[in-house]
């Protein structure tokens, strides 16, 4: 079928029916210096809950970029967004005419906020259209897709960044600093969990393997994998994992709860849990000279943390605004993103290792 006649809505419907990075260096914001002469235009591809609840509002607070355009297959959303954010008709696209975005100089960056199975296609198409790309996490449904996305952006000489907002959040940045700089000595153990009790639409795309690639591990567990990597500053080499499914009638295609143990070259062990049936939001690091932790780690706001010296005290920030501003600065200053496609690729290598261990019941090499 020709791309021009195959909509996002039909893509999701058909798949649903059929299924019935680099060492994680410390992420720091570059000094802004003087305000840039030009704000870069961002087009959001996909106007679901994350775009409407977080990215759209965040783009009203950014300094280096702005909401220039949208891509949606729903005319009513196009009308609402146009009115709310004063988006001109020339900057509103659907999934059939998306490639013509290449001819629009007002749009510099395409932000892919679609079901995971669609990340690769729209990242590649955006790069071919000459646009820089931010892709939501997890980067794709497989390591091979991540590699294709990186190659496409490299070939087009466009930058690719992954939506790892917590690299710009002060409490998580402090966890990176304390761990990687061994402020309290060598890291011995990490305990981390991220999850919630799913009570949404039983037919949602997140519960369809063909669209989501997996369940809680892909959606929530990627934060835990990230945390283990950015606190230690290392890449895990082995993993042992197991799955729990207490609601099999709902999670027929994807994982509900997965527990995993990552082994790092230094000897550090990270024990993680992802879940669609438990409320989890923690990150604790046990070091030679003490414990430091976030008791509210991965939210869009409201982080809390503690060290042997007492509570962490940092301002609450708009994580998405900082993330997008930093990427705009990367383009304007021609510097590498601290959260590049290669980082997303490395997370998928770990995730694939976890799934292999679940299937085999054995310790697997990553």
Domain end call among 149, 165, 181: 165
Please check whether residue 206 lies inside any domain of the structure.
Answer: yes
Please check whether residue 23 lies inside any domain of the structure.
Answer: no
Q: Indicate if 190 and 149 belong to the same structural domain.
A: no
For the cut 60, the answer to whether the pLDDT of residue 10 exceeds it is no
Which is nearest to 190 in space by CA: 227, 239, 138? 227
* Residue 50: count of CB within 10 angstroms of its CB: 16
Please check whether residue 19 lies inside any domain of the structure.
Answer: no
Please check whether residue 302 lies inside any domain of the structure.
Answer: yes
Mean pLDDT of 342-350: 98
CATH number at residue 297: 3.30.360.10
For the cut 70, the answer to whether the pLDDT of residue 22 exceeds it is no
Q: Indicate if 104 and 186 belong to the same structural domain.
A: no
The residue behind tokens 């600093």 is 177
Q: Indicate if 283 and 348 belong to the same structural domain.
A: yes
Q: Is 283 helix (H, G, I), strand (E, B) or coil?
A: strand
- Cis check for the bond before 127: say yes or no (omega within 30 of 0): no
Summarised one tens digit per residue, pLDDT across range 147-195 is: 999 999 999 999 999 999 999 999 999 999 999 999 999 999 999 999 9
Mean pLDDT of 253-273: 98
* Residue 113: count of CB within 10 angstroms of its CB: 24
What is the domain range of residue 110?
31-165
Give me the half-sphere count of Cα atoms (radius 13 Å) on the Cβ side of residue 50.
18
End-to-end CA distance of the chain: 37
For the chain, the average pLDDT equals 92
Q: Indicate if 107 and 122 belong to the same structural domain.
A: yes
pLDDT confidence band for 37 (50 / 70 / 90) = low
The residue behind tokens 């999701």 is 12
Please check whether residue 271 lies inside any domain of the structure.
Answer: yes
Q: For residues 327 and 324, what is the distance between their CA atoms, to the nearest angstrom?
A: 5
Q: Is 240 helix (H, G, I), strand (E, B) or coil?
A: strand
For the cut 90, the answer to whether the pLDDT of residue 355 exceeds it is yes
Which is nearest to 206 in space by CA: 161, 149, 141? 141
CATH number at residue 49: 3.40.50.720
Which pTM does this prediction carry? 0.90
Q: Indicate if 66 and 126 belong to the same structural domain.
A: yes
For the cut 60, the answer to whether the pLDDT of residue 18 exceeds it is no
Summarised one tens digit per residue, pLDDT across range 193-204 is: 999 999 999 999
pLDDT confidence band for 288 (50 / 70 / 90) = very high
For the cut 80, the answer to whether the pLDDT of residue 217 exceeds it is yes
Please check whether residue 332 lies inside any domain of the structure.
Answer: no
Domain end call among 113, 138, 165: 165
Could you say which of 137, 173, 209, 240 is catalytic?
137
Which is nearest to 135 in space by CA: 151, 102, 108, 159? 159
For the cut 80, the answer to whether the pLDDT of residue 62 exceeds it is yes
For the cut 60, the answer to whether the pLDDT of residue 107 exceeds it is yes
Q: Indicate if 200 and 98 belong to the same structural domain.
A: no
Q: Indicate if 135 and 264 belong to the same structural domain.
A: no
Percentage of residues of the chain with pLDDT beyond 70: 90
Query: Phi/psi of residue 261, each to 5°?
Result: -125, 120
Q: Indicate if 157 and 177 belong to the same structural domain.
A: no
Summarised one tens digit per residue, pLDDT across range 64-105 is: 999 999 999 999 999 999 999 999 999 999 999 999 999 999
Quick check: 148 and 200 in contact, CB under 8 A? Answer: no
| 223: annotated active-site residue | yes
Quick check: 251 and 276 in contact, CB under 8 A? Answer: yes
Mean pLDDT of 251-268: 98
Q: Indicate if 131 and 181 belong to the same structural domain.
A: no
Q: For residues 110 and 31, what is the distance between their CA atoms, to the nearest angstrom?
A: 24
Q: Indicate if 136 and 190 belong to the same structural domain.
A: no
Percentage of residues of the chain with pLDDT beyond 90: 90
Q: Is 131 helix (H, G, I), strand (E, B) or coil?
A: coil
Quick check: 185 and 336 in contact, CB under 8 A? Answer: no
For the cut 60, the answer to whether the pLDDT of residue 128 exceeds it is yes
Domains in the chain, number: 2
pLDDT at 38: 84
Q: For residues 42 and 52, what is the distance between their CA atoms, to the nearest angstrom?
A: 14
Please check whether residue 116 lies inside any domain of the structure.
Answer: yes
- Cis check for the bond before 329: say yes or no (omega within 30 of 0): no
Q: Indicate if 246 and 279 belong to the same structural domain.
A: yes
Q: For residues 54 and 44, what is the distance between their CA atoms, to the nearest angstrom?
A: 12
DSSP string for residues in 175-201: HHHHHHTTTTSSEEEEEEEEEEE--S-
Please check whether residue 207 lies inside any domain of the structure.
Answer: yes
Residue 56 has what DSSP assignment? H
Could you say which of 122, 184, 198, 223 is catalytic?
223
Q: Indicate if 137 and 186 belong to the same structural domain.
A: no
For the cut 80, the answer to whether the pLDDT of residue 26 exceeds it is no
Domain end call among 104, 134, 165: 165
DSSP string for residues in 137-182: SS--SSHHHHHHHHHHHHHTT--EEE--GGGGSHHHHHHHHHHHTT
């Amino acid at each position: 079928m020709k791309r021009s006649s195959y909509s996002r809505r039909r893509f999701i419907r058909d798949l649903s029916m059929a299924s019935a990075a680099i060492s994680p260096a410390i992420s720091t914001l570059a000094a802004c210096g003087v305000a840039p002469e030009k704000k870069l235009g961002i087009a959001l591809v996909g106007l679901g809950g994350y775009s409407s609840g977080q990215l759209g509002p965040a783009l009203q607070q950014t300094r280096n970029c702005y909401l220039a355009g949208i891509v949606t297959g729903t005319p009513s959303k196009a009308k609402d967004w146009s009115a709310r954010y004063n988006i001109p008709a020339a900057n509103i696209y659907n999934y059939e005419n998306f490639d013509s975005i290449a001819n629009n100089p007002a749009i510099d960056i395409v932000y892919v906020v679609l079901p995971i199975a669609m990340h690769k296609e729209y990242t590649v198409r955006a790069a071919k259209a000459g646009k820089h790309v931010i892709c939501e996490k997890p980067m794709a449904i497989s390591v091979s897709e991540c590699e294709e996305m990186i190659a496409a952006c490299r070939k087009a000489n466009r930058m690719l960044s992954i939506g790892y907002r917590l690299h710009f959040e002060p409490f998580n940045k402090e966890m990176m600093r304390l761990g990687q700089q061994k402020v309290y000595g060598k890291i011995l153990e990490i305990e981390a969990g991220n999850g919630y009790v799913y009570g949404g639409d039983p037919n949602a795309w997140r519960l369809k393997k063909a669209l989501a690639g997996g369940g809680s591990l892909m959606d929530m567990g990627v934060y835990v994998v990230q945390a283990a990597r950015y606190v230690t500053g290392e890449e895990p080499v082995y993993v042992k994992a197991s799955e729990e499914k207490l609601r099999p009638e709902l999670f027929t295609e994807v994982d509900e709860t997965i527990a995993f143990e990552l082994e790092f070259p230094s000897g550090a062990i990270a024990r993680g849990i992802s879940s669609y049936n438990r409320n989890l939001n923690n990150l604790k690091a046990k070091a030679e000279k003490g414990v430091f932790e976030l008791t509210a780690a991965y939210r869009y706001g409201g982080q809390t943390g503690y060290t042997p010296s007492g509570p962490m005290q940092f301002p609450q920030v708009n994580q998405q605004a900082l993330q997008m501003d930093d990427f705009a600065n990367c383009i304007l200053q021609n510097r590498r993103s601290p959260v590049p496609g290669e980082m997303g690729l490395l997370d998928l290598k770990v995730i694939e290792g976890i799934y292999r261990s679940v299937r085999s019941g054995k310790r697997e090499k990553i």
